[in-house]
Structure 1
Amino acid sequence: MSQFSSPSRIETGIRQVDTILDGGLLPASATLLRGEPGSGKTIFGLHFLAEGVRADDTGLYINLGEPTAYLRDTADSFGLDIDPVNFLTLSPSGEEFRADQTYDLFRSGETENPPLVENIRGEVETVGPDRVVIDPITELRYLTMDDHQFRTQVLALIDFLKSQEATVLLTSQAADSVPDDDLQFLVDTVITLERDQRQRTLDVSKFRGSSSKRGPHTVTISDDGMHVWPQLVPSDHQREFSSEKLSSGVPELDSLLRGGLTTGTVTFLSGPTGVGKTTTGLQFMKEAAGRGQRSVLYSFEENRSTMLERAEAVNIPVKAMIERGTLRIEEVSPDELTIDEFTHYLQQEVEEHGSEIIMIDGVSGYERALRGTGGKETHHLIKIGRYLRNMGVTGLVTNEVHQITGEFRATEQQMSHLADNIIVLRHVEYKGELRKVIGVLKMRTSDYENWLRELNITEHGLTVGEPMSNLRGILTGTPNWQDDE
């Protein structure tokens, strides 16, 4: 029995769906699985029955649509074992109905035992199934005389199956032209699968007798079947931790920060391209690695090999850190992951691998790369920040400001309110020479130094100079000595 189940739950066979359902479906309940054609309802049903095989439950697939051979082939293609599952084919093209070619499976309401009900009742009494899938239940709507008869027959069917202590999954071809509101009232649980051009989602709108995690949650289908990626809910994650100072290992930078960054906060490293944002973040990770702490860097704009080469060139031994397990660098390509997949992997790093520093390298790349944000990239970044704070994890976010010099901006996307701390890095031109400066704009949890200091990145590493007290106009990009004319 998995960690998500309990004696009072029926696992679906899709691990994260059981997480969303607080352990699984309730026994002897009826679930309506809604979705348009191609949304994954049949695959979900096959997972449900394959899990029953694994749990030594008896399964019955009542098929009103696709041929049995097609369904078994589909299960085989996903590596799902449904060999012991019983199939009852009741589609008009099925063997049971080819002889008389009748579509009159439900007769009038005056008929006590319609042929279809007789077939299902007989099969259920013979097989004694623990799990039943009826796919799709909406086909029966076309075989009844009116909506009232359809609802009456479906309710009678559900009651009969539940009286046999079977857990029932009904699929519905949900569409505007064929509403299924009446079916939603008849069942205990309603799960909706939706898809558009960019993503698939799953949402639980009804779960009688239990709580569930609010959605929608991302769905993906791969060679091994259906996967569901629950939406990140920061309030569901909390742990006790004590705040400390995270040193950069550079005394002058720590002086700017009055000892370093406070752990469990989110820091934005803001500045134009090439100014040293990623290198500064890696400097904190280097120092943390020396204390045996694990960090993860998600790179949205730079490929992994280039980052490794560039870091080694400035005396940050990322390859050795990776080999020791104190650093992991993940390159995230455009459209490679959905936002729910990304937050799932981020949670794994924190909760399973014990990562204490998470760096999102490139806000602009993050916004372009992740599918399923629905134009709410900032909203999702806020949730990630809240999650990291709740778990006592230090977050680093690099944010590119596109102006190389000139009018000062803390962040390009007006995201400064998301950060607990903001470290600004700038290019400045002084007497024909291009230099870099670093300073602290904001720290929520402690005091900080107001001076700007010169930043140098050389083959020997990152160094920070003394406060530049004699310069004025640094943030305009063209500083002058205070005694210059």
Structure 2
Amino acid sequence: MGDSVSHNRTRTGLRQADAILDGGLLPASGTLIRGPPGTGKTIFALHFLADGVRSGETCLYINLGEPTAYLRDTADSFGLDIDSVNFLNLSPSEAEFHDDQTYDLFRSGEVENSSLVENVRDEVDAIAPDRIVIDPVTELRYLTTDDHQFRTQILGLLDFLKAGGATVLLTSQTAETIADDDLQFLADAVITLDLEGDRRTLRISKFRGSDTQRGPHTVTITGDGMCVWPKLVPNDHSQEFTSETLSSGVPELDSLLRGGLTTGTVTFLSGPTGVGKTTTGLQFMKEAAGRGQRSVLYSFEESRSTMLERAEAVNIPVEAMLERGTLRIEEIGPDELTVDEFTHRIRQEVEGEGSEIIMIDGVSGYERALRGNGDDATQHLIKIGRYLRNMGVTGLVTNEVHRITGEFRATEQQMSHLADNIVVLRHVEYKGELRKVIGVLKMRTSDFENWLRELQITEHGLTVGEPMSDLRGILTGTPNWEDDG
């Protein structure tokens, strides 16, 4: 055997798939890969064998459907090396197709007379494979006289292959009119691939002797091959941490927050466009960078170049933070990622890079950008928020309220319950002059200042004024100032 078995597991060869399989497949087991056409069953099998080739294992592909040349071309198109894979080609050739006739590799009952079985046994005895794919195993159903004979033949074949130490993948073509319950019963593990609209998914419906991660998990197929993006289950992730206070570096803003934000909480920065939500978030990241902490900003609303230009104009040294590695900015466009891909990136930043602040810049853009969500955006933000809290990471979310003036609303997507803290930013008009104010509407972990303060964003940076005790009516939409005299 090669080196593909780690902790007594056999890798699948698919990126991230082994993570949801608790390390991979059990050696000398039989796994059923099932799903309708177009879900990637054959590509899964090719990845599995290519991983075996990389590990120096002997691999056998028993192809009952597609010809060998087609399978080799498919593997080559994804950059998968299967040159050393042995093929037992039992698929139909062009000469065996006839007009208005269906193809039968063997006449019914011939399997019972050992024609096919002997071919397989002879090949296995000759090369002693470590990995075997039978694609699709459902073709054998048409070569037997009844369901009982089919189950008997498959069980006997599996027992023979596993007894020789091989890890076996069987693919099954599913449809509403074609049941494969018997195959699921016979297999040690069952992996179901599905296609819902334009979203491919994978779930583990059976795995004897092993834990798995709950699905469905998103699957993508690109020029680099097939990849699985594990579904985020917040309660599966946690770490010990000590809550601290995250200062903004602006004393008056910290005064509003009674010292700053508590780490491991999620804060919504809510207000209309142009009021300073992103700048306020970057101010917290600037202060964290001064202590050597790493932050990540996912921008769903504006380009990276625009953000860099604006930040430098208000004395937030984003370029220097990027160069030092204390900040990462990632621009995410419409239909670029699935939600499982996005949450996987967050996990990589938190668990792989040690990022301590995660900022989602633009809830509306987030909703538009992430395709194939499955659930609504609110449910995904809830999961992300829970994950960040469990990991002791501070979350910042900018939420645009589209009314620039008028009656105040904390959020327009009814998301205020998702936040531990809500910082509101608001435009107000005073004697024909447009000004900005900032205040705190909610903090779960501590008390906060009830005053509103004037916010100014200048070339020297973000400044917050003294409490505006003479300002009335902001939340009603008709603010006014009381004269001192």
TM-score (ref. length: structure 2): 0.95
After superposition, what is the alpha-carbon deviation per residue over 1:222-256, rounded to whole angstroms, capped at 9, x for unaligned?
A: 22211111111111211111111111111100000
Quote the offset at 1:181 in angstroms: 1.5
Q: Say which SS state the counterpart of residue 456 (structure 1) adopts.
A: strand
Instruction: Give 2:48's aligned residue.
Output: 48
After superposition, what is the alpha-carbon deviation per residue over 1:32-73, rounded to whole angstroms, capped at 9, x for unaligned?
A: 101222211111111111111122221110000111111112
Partner Cα distance (1:102, 1:431) in 2: 85
Instruction: Give 2:121's aligned residue.
Output: 121
Q: Say which SS state the counterpart of residue 475 (structure 1) adopts.
A: coil
Distance change in 2, residues 1:484/1:46 (3 Å): same
CA RMSD of aligned residues (A): 2.3
Instruction: Give 1:238's aligned residue.
Output: 238
Q: Say which SS state the counterpart of residue 469 (structure 1) adopts.
A: coil
Partner Cα distance (1:286, 1:92) in 2: 65
Partner Cα distance (1:477, 1:144) in 2: 77
Instruction: Give 1:65's aligned residue.
Output: 65
- Contact 1:162 / 1:168 at 8 angstroms: preserved in 2? yes
Q: Say which SS state the counterpart of residue 156 (structure 2) adopts.
A: helix
- Contact 1:89 / 1:96 at 8 angstroms: preserved in 2? no
Amino acid in structure 2 at the alignment position of 1:256? L
Quote the offset at 1:113 in angstroms: 3.5
Quote the offset at 1:104 in angstroms: 5.9
Quote the offset at 1:281 in angstroms: 0.4
- Contact 2:247 / 2:284 at 8 angstroms: preserved in 1? yes
Instruction: Give 1:261's aligned residue.
Output: 261
User: Is residue 294 of structure 2 the alignment partner of residue 291 of structure 1?
Assistant: no
User: Is residue 326 of structure 2 the alignment partner of residue 330 of structure 1?
Assistant: no
In percent, how many aligned pairs have the same letter? 79
Quote the offset at 1:102 in angstroms: 8.6
After superposition, what is the alpha-carbon deviation per residue over 1:423-446, rounded to whole angstroms, capped at 9, x for unaligned?
A: 001111122221111100111111
Instruction: Give 1:148's aligned residue.
Output: 148
Partner Cα distance (2:7, 2:465) in 1: 64
Partner Cα distance (2:258, 2:93) in 1: 77
- Contact 2:4 / 2:52 at 8 angstroms: preserved in 1? no
Distance change in 2, residues 1:106/1:212 (3 Å): farther
Q: Say which SS state the counterpart of residue 371 (structure 2) adopts.
A: coil
User: Is residue 187 of structure 2 the alignment partner of residue 187 of structure 1?
Assistant: yes
Instruction: Give 1:411's aligned residue.
Output: 411
Amino acid in structure 1 at the alignment position of 2:104? Y
Instruction: Give 1:212's aligned residue.
Output: 212
After superposition, what is the alpha-carbon deviation per residue over 1:104-129, rounded to whole angstroms, capped at 9, x for unaligned?
A: 626439x8542111111111111111
Instruction: Give 1:34's aligned residue.
Output: 34
Distance change in 2, residues 1:226/1:286 (3 Å): same
* Deviates most, 250-259 or 314-323: 314-323
Distance change in 2, residues 1:203/1:248 (3 Å): same
Partner Cα distance (1:47, 1:354) in 2: 31
* Deviates most, 89-98 or 435-444: 89-98
Instruction: Give 1:449's aligned residue.
Output: 449
Distance change in 2, residues 1:170/1:96 (3 Å): farther
Amino acid in structure 2 at the alignment position of 1:103? D
Quote the offset at 1:477 in angstroms: 3.3
Partner Cα distance (2:334, 2:250) in 1: 34
Distance change in 2, residues 1:442/1:368 (3 Å): same
Distance change in 2, residues 1:385/1:2 (3 Å): farther
Instruction: Give 1:398's aligned residue.
Output: 398
After superposition, what is the alpha-carbon deviation per residue over 1:434-483, rounded to whole angstroms, capped at 9, x for unaligned?
A: 11111001111111100011111111111111111112112233322346
Matches within 5 A, 1:327-366: 327-366=327-366
Quote the offset at 1:198 in angstroms: 2.2
- Contact 2:4 / 2:51 at 8 angstroms: preserved in 1? no
Quote the offset at 1:347 in angstroms: 0.9
Instruction: Give 1:89's aligned residue.
Output: 89
Q: Say which SS state the counterpart of residue 396 (structure 1) adopts.
A: strand
TM-score (ref. length: structure 1): 0.95
- Contact 1:90 / 1:96 at 8 angstroms: preserved in 2? no
User: Is residue 272 of structure 2 the alignment partner of residue 272 of structure 1?
Assistant: yes
Quote the offset at 1:183 in angstroms: 1.0
Instruction: Give 2:104's aligned residue.
Output: 103
Partner Cα distance (2:121, 2:113) in 1: 10
Quote the offset at 1:3 in angstroms: 12
Instruction: Give 1:476's aligned residue.
Output: 476
Which structure 2 segments of 5+ residues have no match?
none
Q: Say which SS state the counterpart of residue 395 (structure 1) adopts.
A: strand
Partner Cα distance (1:484, 1:247) in 2: 33
Instruction: Give 2:430's aligned residue.
Output: 430
Distance change in 2, residues 1:166/1:463 (3 Å): same
Amino acid in structure 1 at the alignment position of 2:168? V
After superposition, what is the alpha-carbon deviation per residue over 1:136-162, rounded to whole angstroms, capped at 9, x for unaligned?
A: 011112222222222222122112211
Distance change in 2, residues 1:106/1:184 (3 Å): farther
Instruction: Give 2:382's aligned residue.
Output: 382
Quote the offset at 1:93 in angstroms: 2.3
* Deviates most, 119-128 or 329-338: 119-128
Which structure 1 segments of 5+ residues have no match?
none
Amino acid in structure 2 at the alignment position of 1:438? I
